[in-house]
Every structure is written in structure tokens, then in C-alpha cells.
């Protein structure tokens, strides 16, 4: 077997992300669970995914849907039991699918034993966190803002001190500078490795090393803890003492507001940190700076610039990216950058084409492969996410009307990604069985009414569906080495509506061209495709690419040519 073709070659792999709470509820309590994931393994296998990234199912009060972990060694009863996890790992393994678990190590829940002991005054555990004196009566140690709104410090009257929480007040930041914290973290990683886990996703891992507790007069404080002074040291240590001892394990770090230079190290082939990184700059093209709570149209020129910049520079530094549009924190891409109305199918396929042929490991977020759209929620009471609910209030505090605040939340809310997976056209979309729910159990969050049209069953029956297109794209990556290993060359860089690039590897070439908009366009200086064959596309082949006339691209058309 060619060494590059081994099953753990993450460059040829595709990861499917599951948010279990919203995936499949096997016992009818309205809350998705691990047995529900196991039920759907054949579906994921048929899609062609090699790994499943499972978001946290550990014991948690669920203030941030499991990203507030109270016990890393046990399963939250709402998700199932340890036996269910073991069964899931074994069943996935039998299908050649590896499980990647989501390790939330920047913070723990205030319900975690370590924090409870700290709050009881135990100095050993107080040092697991950042307790600091305020700057004066009612003035926190620094002016940093929490990522979910409000101050990043919570006052504790018993100690007359504050503790740091970069996220919700129930998510307390861990002090990684304390060797005992790092030891505990290593134990947790090894525990799950011993259970047969094949990979890890590390939540907001680049904010673990805090530089200095100083007021930020330029921003919200992030420059004092993002890519902090010891982050690389801590990651190398974690690598050497845990997952780095097993070459089969793949890792991905979620990098919040990071820089490319730092990512050369986080995800360098030889730097001894992680296999790859998630960066988010390409998803801030519809923000105002770092502020996502505004309505601005996506900046296409910026999107291309950011993606190409990362593609070429990460390659030049022998570092690896995860490539993706969607996850549980992002609105649905077909609603965001495509057209979830008239050109729903074409635009979903076009967006998929762009990502899946790039250099990097593609991640598919549950429901993306069937073109799930943003929610149809009409009132704030339908939203569940702590961040959305906070900002709905904050926006009104800033003077916006309730209606305008709601509009912004509808567009940017993380709940857009969290509505139940749409398996079929029944009442609860097959997320929950209608018959099995008895009592008055209902999905924990509303099902999108479009599930009668947008669902797995319907797409399995339609050979031209988005789902079948995703299967084809994933199969293409397996078949053509140029996609996994090739170099990238940006094309049509200045074109106002075309997204195009070339990949090259050992004498083979792949050209990808996509019309990002719903108006027909011409790509005048497209490359000569004589001798190429079109290996995939979202429209019937038109043959319309004469080098002299340029390439005509229909609304949201995308095509892949290979030689």
C-alpha cells in the first residue's frame, strides 16, 4: 500500500461533523443522542466520510450546549451512557470511520468539580483558574469583553475577587500556566485515546495562554490572549505526551482570530503541534471588522483574497488547513453565500465544489450535504443559543428596535445551524419519531418547515440532488490525487463573479470554475481546456468554453475539469 493512501491520511480524508443534540433523537425525549448517531452510521459511510467529529456529549449543564463541560470522563445522561459511546466507536470502526472527539480545554463549566473546590476556597483548585482582584469598587481587573457579550470577569463576593470567563459566565477559563491543569488535561486525552478515539478537535485552543491582564484600549481584549506567548509550547507538550504517540490520530485546532503566521506552526507538517487548523477569516466577509451583529452583504473580493491567501501561504509553509463553510457556530452557507430560493440546488452545489477541491481537509456539517437553510424563526422565543439571546438584548441596549435586533439575530444566529437534521418529511423531520414521542415531548429547538422538501429521503430518491453531488465530490477526492496533494494556483483573481483555481500534481491538472452569483457571466481569460474532461458539474455540460470567447457560466454554475 502506498504510504499516502493509508486510511489515516487526513489529506485524502473528509470529516463529517455531528452536533448530536440536533442529529437524531432515538428515545423520543426531544434531545438527540449517541444511539441516534450510531443509527445513522451507514448514511455517513455512504456519503464517503472518513471521520466523524462529534461535538461535546460530556456531562454538562448545557448553558452552551455542552461546550461547558462539568465532567470530561462521563457522558451526559441526555446523550446516553458510556456503553453507548463505546458501541458508537466500535460500530464506526467496523465501517472504517474514525471518531474525533471535541475537547473543550480553554474553560470548564462552573459545575465542574475543580471549580466547585475552588469556590469552596481550596487554594490548590483556585490556582486552576484566574481569580484576580478588581481595580476598584465594581471595576473588574481588565476591561475585556466576553465573546458572548458583557464583561469577561465575574465577581465573586466571597473572595472579593473576579474570575475570568472569555465566554459565558458559566464557562470559567482554565489556567494553563499551572502545570497541574496541564497534567489533568493530558489524563483526559489519554482516557479517550484508550477508548479507541481516532482524532480530536480542540476547542478555541489558541486562547489558552494569557499574556498580560491589562486593559485593552484598542479592542475587546483579544490581543492579550489570542495566540498567547506559551500556546505553542503547551501544544507541543500535549502532542508529545498524548496524541503524538499514536501516528494514526488526527487533530484539528479551532483558532479564534488567529494569524496565518501562527498557523504555520500550529499545523506545520514538522512542527509537532496539530494536524490542521480551522481559521475563520473567510467567514468574516459579512461582518463589520470583528463585529458580526450587523447586516452587510458578503464581500466576494475579500472572500477570494482570504481563501487564496491562506491556500497559497499555508502550502508554501508546509502547513495544513481544514476547509469548510459550515459548522455549528455558522449560519447555513446556502442562505449566507448562495440562494436558498430559486437557485437553491445549483448554489449549494456550487459552494460545495469550491471547498471540496481546495487544498485541505474538507469538513461537512450535518445537513449541509442536503442543502439545509437558515431557520424560519419569526420570534426571539424560538431561539435557544446563549449568544443570540445575549446579543438580542445588547443590540436593543444600543438603541436598535426589537424588530431590527431580531432581523440581525435571524441572519447571524448560531441556531441557524442547530435546528434538527432533516431526515424525512414527517412532522419532526425524522429527528424524532412522531409515534415514539408520546407525552408532549418536542424537539428542543424548532424544525424548519422546509423539511417537507429539504430532507434526506427526498434527496436519496433524486439522482440530481445536492446529497448525490456531495457523494460525488467526496469520491472525486479519493480518486484524484491532485485534489489531496496538488499545488494551488488562484485564477480569475480580479473577476467580479468567478471563483476559480488550478491544482497541479505530478503532471495532472485540475481546473475548478464557479459563478458565485445568480446572473450568467463570462470568464474571458479562462485557461485553454483542450484535452481536459469535465469530471463534475452542477449543470448539464454545455461545451461553451472556447478560449477565444471565454467561458460562459450560468447562474451559480460550477464545473471541475481534469487532465
Closer Cβ to ligand GLC, 106 or 515, answer by number: 106
Query: Shortest distance, CB of residue 69 to ligand GLC, whole angstroms?
Result: 9
- Region of 463 on the Ramachandran plot (φ > 0 left; ψ -120 to 50 alpha; else beta): alpha
Catalytic residue chosen out of the listed positions 76, 84, 254, 481? 254
Of residues 550, 380, 484, 557, the one with CA closest to residue 4: 484
Give phi and psi for 521, each to the nearest 5: -145, 170
CB of 166 to ligand GLC, least distance (A): 8
For 173, the enclosing helix (H) or strand (E) is strand 171-173
Helical segments of 195-271, H only? 231-241, 260-266
> Closest Cα to residue 124, out of 165, 184, 67?
184
Is there a catalytic annotation at residue 203?
yes
CB of residue 128 to ligand GLC, shortest distance in Å: 17
Among residues 25, 50, 84, 203, which one is catalytic?
203
Binding site for ligand GLC (CB under 6 A): 64, 67, 104, 167, 203-204, 254, 328-329
Bridge partners (DSSP) of residue 478 are none
User: Given the complex with ligand GLC, which of 105 and 428 has the nearer CB atom?
Assistant: 105
Which CB sits closer to ligand GLC, 167 or 469? Answer: 167
Considering the complex, what minimum distance in angstroms separates the CB of residue 387 from ligand GLC? Answer: 7
The grid coordinates of residue 264 equal 504555520
Cβ 101 to ligand GLC shortest distance, Å? 14
CB of 56 to ligand GLC, least distance (A): 9
Q: How far lies 550's CA from each of 42, 129, 217, 272, 547, in Å? A: 43, 60, 51, 46, 5
H or E segment and range at residue 341? none
215 catalytic? Reply is no
Residue pair 251/198 in contact (Cβ under 8 Å)? The answer is: no
List C-alpha distances in Å: 396 to 283, 382, 391, 450.
25, 18, 8, 30
- How many CB atoms neighbour CB 403 within 10 A? 7
Please identify the residue of the shown chain whose CB is closest to the bound ligand GLC.
67
161 grid coordinates: 475577587
Q: How far apart are the C-alpha atoms of 100 and 373, rounded to whole Å?
A: 26
**In the complex with ligand GLC, which residue's Cβ is closer, 146 or 410?**
146
Please identify, using beta-carbon distances, which residue of 225 and 516 lies nearer to ligand GLC: 225
Instruction: Give the residue with the Cβ less far from ligand GLC, 84 or 203.
Output: 203
DSSP state of 447: P
Active site residues: 203, 254
Amino acid at each position: 500500500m502506498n504510504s499516502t493512501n493509508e486510511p489515516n491520511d487526513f489529506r485524502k480524508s473528509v470529516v463529517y461533523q455531528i452536533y448530536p443534540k440536533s442529529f437524531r433523537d432515538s428515545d423520543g425525549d426531544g434531545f438527540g443522542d449517541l444511539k441516534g448517531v450510531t443509527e445513522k452510521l451507514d448514511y455517513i459511510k455512504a456519503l464517503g466520510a472518513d471521520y466523524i467529529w462529534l461535538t461535546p456529549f460530556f456531562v454538562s449543564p448545557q448553558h452552551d450546549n455542552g461546550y461547558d463541560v462539568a465532567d470530561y470522563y462521563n457522558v451526559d445522561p441526555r446523550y446516553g451512557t458510556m456503553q453507548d459511546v463505546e458501541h458508537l466507536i466500535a460500530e464506526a470502526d467496523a465501517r472504517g470511520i474514525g471518531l474525533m472527539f471535541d475537547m473543550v480545554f480553554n474553560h470548564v463549566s462552573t459545575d465542574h468539580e475543580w471549580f466547585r473546590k475552588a469556590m469552596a476556597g481550596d487554594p490548590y483548585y483556585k490556582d486552576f483558574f484566574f481569580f484576580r482582584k478588581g481595580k476598584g469598587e465594581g471595576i473588574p481587573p481588565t476591561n475585556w469583553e466576553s465573546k458572548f457579550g458583557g464583561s469577561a470577569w465575574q465577581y465573586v463576593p466571597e473572595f472579593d475577587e473576579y474570575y475570568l470567563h472569555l465566554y459565558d459566565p458559566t464557562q470559567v477559563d482554565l489556567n494553563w500556566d499551572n502545570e497541574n491543569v496541564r497534567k489533568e488535561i493530558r489524563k483526559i486525552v489519554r482516557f479517550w485515546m484508550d477508548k479507541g478515539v481516532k482524532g480530536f478537535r480542540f476547542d478555541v485552543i489558541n486562547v489558552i495562554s494569557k499574556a498580560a491582564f491589562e486593559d485593552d484600549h484598542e479592542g475587546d481584549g483579544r490581543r492579550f490572549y489570542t495566540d498567547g506567548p506559551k500556546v505553542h509550547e503547551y501544544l507541543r507538550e500535549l502532542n508529545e505526551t498524548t496524541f503524538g504517540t499514536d501516528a494514526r490520530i488526527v487533530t484539528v485546532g479551532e483558532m479564534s482570530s488567529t494569524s496565518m503566521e501562527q498557523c504555520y506552526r500550529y499545523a506545520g507538517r514538522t512542527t509537532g503541534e496539530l494536524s490542521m487548523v480551522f481559521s475563520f477569516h473567510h467567514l468574516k466577509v459579512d461582518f463589520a471588522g470583528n463585529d458580526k451583529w450587523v447586516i452587510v452583504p458578503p464581500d466576494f473580493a475579500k472572500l477570494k483574497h482570504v481563501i487564496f491567501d491562506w491556500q497559497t501561504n499555508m502550502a508554501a509553509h508546509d502547513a495544513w488547513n481544514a476547509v469548510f463553510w459550515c459548522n455549528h457556530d455558522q449560519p447555513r452557507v446556502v442562505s449566507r453565500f448562495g440562494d436558498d430560493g430559486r437557485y437553491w440546488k445549483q448554489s449549494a452545489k456550487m459552494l460545495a465544489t469550491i471547498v471540496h477541491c481546495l487544498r485541505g481537509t474538507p469538513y461537512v456539517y450535518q445537513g449541509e450535504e442536503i442543502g439545509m437553510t437558515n431557520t424560519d424563526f419569526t420570534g426571539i422565543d424560538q431561539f435557544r443559543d446563549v449568544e443570540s439571546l445575549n446579543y438580542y438584548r445588547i443590540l436593543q441596549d444600543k438603541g436598535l428596535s426589537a424588530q431590527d435586533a431580531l432581523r440581525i439575530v435571524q441572519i447571524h444566529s448560531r441556531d441557524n445551524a442547530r435546528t434538527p437534521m432533516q431526515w424525512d418529511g414527517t412532522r419532526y423531520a425524522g429527528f424524532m419519531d412522531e409515534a415514539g414521542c408520546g407525552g408532549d415531548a418536542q424537539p428542543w429547538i424548532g424544525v424548519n418547515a422546509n423539511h417537507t422538501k429539504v430532507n434526506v429521503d427526498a434527496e436519496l430518491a433524486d439522482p440530481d440532488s445536492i446529497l448525490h453531488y456531495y457523494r460525488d465530490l467526496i469520491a472525486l477526492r479519493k480518486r484524484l490525487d491532485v485534489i489531496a496533494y496538488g499545488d494551488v494556483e488562484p485564477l480569475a483573481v480580479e473577476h467580479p463573479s468567478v471563483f476559480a483555481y488550478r491544482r497541479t500534481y505530478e503532471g495532472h491538472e485540475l481546473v475548478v470554475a464557479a459563478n458565485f452569483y445568480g446572473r450568467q457571466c463570462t470568464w474571458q481569460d479562462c485557461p485553454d481546456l483542450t484535452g481536459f474532461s469535465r469530471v463534475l458539474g452542477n449543470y448539464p455540460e454545455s461545451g461553451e468554453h472556447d478560449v477565444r470567447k471565454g467561458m460562459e457560466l450560468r447562474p451559480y454554475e460550477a464545473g471541475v475539469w481534469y487532465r
